[in-house]
Amino acid sequence: MKKGSHQTQVKTKQEQRNEVEMNIREYLKTNTLIFDGAMGTYYAQLEKKPLVKCEMANIHDEEAILRIHHEYIRAGCMAIKTNTFGANVTCLDCPFEGVEEVIRKGYELARRAVAGSGVYLFADIGPIPFRDNENLFAEYQKIADLFLDLGAVNFLFETFSSAEYLAQIAAYIKEKSPQAFIITEFAVSPDGYTRQGNSGFQIFEELSGENSIDAIGFNCISGPYHLLQLAKKLEAKDKFVSIMPNAGYPTVIDNRTFFENNAGYFADQMLEMAKEGIAILGGCCGTAPEFIRKTAAKIKSLSLPEPAVKRIKITEGKPAAQAENPLMEKIRQGEKIIAVELDPPANTDIDFLMRSAQKLQENKVDAITIADCPIARARVDSSLLACKLKKELGVTPIPHMTCRDRNINATKALLLGLNIEGVNNVLVVTGDPIPSAQRDEVKARSNFNSAILANYIRTLNENTFARPFTIYGALNVNARNFEAQLKHARKKIENGVSVFLTQPILTKKALENLQEASRVLPAKILGGILPIVSYKNACFMNNEISGIDVSPEIMDLYENASKEQARNLAVDISTRMVREISAYVDGYYLITPFQRLDIVTDILENMLQSQAG
């Protein structure tokens, strides 16, 4: 086109992006950028409608969404978020075509709201719930591409629990739109940990070096006071810091969630954050326009220096000295340890368990493992029993810790208690699923899978525990796809697992898989030994217990065996299996069947005789 023509006044989409990019970065040099508050909780409060899937209101109740955007703008915010936090296939439970419609409408409504106001518009993207064995990056790409096509320049990734995918998707956006401004925020509890057990400080440190990310911070879960305390510990290098707290801590009445109307207090805390040099402030759950109005008024007259450029500092309490773990020391020195599993009782009678533990101690067993509500049935708590065994008998316990029944708060509380009691070995497992018929009555409370739980404990080891835990993990040598099992095991090792306990080895294939694991995994392995007590028992385990396979040859041996013959078979087969796996393991993990301690002690006697010979 010719210079001076009328068309030269029309800016391209990229020129518009460049102009906005310069504006927001220049704005942040001398101003605190104040965001809006919570769309979801405010929409539910105004419309008396459920909070679930409020993003669908972009289509079915667009006037309400537009009205809320305008309320926040009138309150004094300088940035609003699109109503698209949960706009993904999993949260909306629909094909991507439905997600696309929600995002398009949400962006259109937000753009209408900011038109002519000078308020910045951010594409709001929340975490896609974890799906096993599925790479979620492709869906994040599709969401980002859609926003970019709509003209988005600014992106807010909020309420994440891990940094997974974020550096990758931020780089993807910057490749397509180099001038994009990208904020990443993580939902942390008052102790600085996310729901998945990741340290917010370590995530901050990790992402501080990512050139594609412009601002990092925390939002949700915690109220303003606790996020202020965490914010005081943050200093970023070449990054803006963003903090968006909840209004406080909610109350649930008649299945509805309410936040206190403490807008004045909220604004006071936000002012303190601004004084700390936090460049981007806003509100999360429970923050209505009044919260933003009072915050904007408090900060308006504050003269702010340019945000400091420093490295992050983590001032969490660091454990002083790390005590040795005698059990792990034995393994490191090449001693083949023996651990025996006992099931906790389903009632308050623990006499058998205590007698069994004492008997095993007399038989030179190195550790006793205690199952955590096996097959998802309530039993005496494995961690409490571990403390009792250590205190009263002096044994080394390894309590199992499932991810199924506890959220992050309960998990941390339990770990703190175990550590105080000197129990510093723990086996992390995802846990058997709750049967479908019980799910209305018994709810899983998991924030984790076993790899994520291991990572959480590893982080606590680094920052909290003077006596760090040795983290044990499960290895299913009977898995149909053992390559996938090895991949999962490597992930566990990355997250802090140093010893694996295998499922019982009762087939040739399981033995081959054990050999492969021993060859490729940089971790110690305790080989699983499970005595079979009868043909009926063999059939049950082979057909109903996940992760256990019994070879046809062993099944045949038991088919017509008497009770005494079956008992002898249990001892002989288990003793033989100990010999066969010896070259590939660092110890043994014996599982007591049906309280048949006599069988286990006979196997132990054979093992000791073999060692003596």
Binding-site residue numbers for Zn(2+) are 220, 284-285
Q: What are phi and psi of 402, to 5 degrees?
A: -85, 160
Place of tokens 């301690």: 597
> Tokens representing 431?
């846990």
Residue whose C-alpha is closest to residue 370's, from 586, 361, 379, 478? 379
Residue whose C-alpha is closest to residue 228's, from 265, 263, 203? 265
SS (H, E, C) 447-479: CCCHHHHHHHHHHHHHHCCCCCCEEEEEECCCC
Place of tokens 């799906």: 131
Name the binding residues.
220, 284-285
Report the C-alpha gap between 587 and 362 in whole angstroms. 18
Angle at 447 between CA 445 and CA 449, to 5 degrees: 105
Helices and strands (H, E) in the chain, number of each type: 23, 18
Coil, strand or helix: which one is 160?
strand
Pairing of strands 251-253, 256-258: antiparallel
Q: How far is CA 600 from the centre of its chain?
A: 37
Place of tokens 């906790």: 344
CB 370 within 8 A of CB 150: no
Q: What is the DSSP string of 269-282?
A: HHHHHHHTT--EE-
Alpha helices in 316-381 (DSSP H): 326-332, 351-362
DSSP 66: H
Q: What is the DSSP string of 527-549?
A: EEE-----HHHHHHHHHHSTT--
Q: 258-295: b or e for each residue (b if 16 or more CB lie within 10 Å)?
A: ebeebbebbbbbbbbbbebbbbbbbbbbbbbbbbbbbb
Pairing of strands 33-34, 280-281: parallel
Distances (CA, A) of 70 to 37, 75, 575: 12, 8, 75
> Tokens representing 227?
């996020």
Angle at 503 between CA 501 and CA 505, to 5 degrees: 115
What are the DSSP E strand ranges found in 469-521? 470-475, 497-504
CB 193 within 8 A of CB 161: no
> Tokens representing 541?
């385990």
Residue 503's identity, in one-letter code, is Q
Report the C-alpha gap between 270 and 607 in whole angstroms. 66
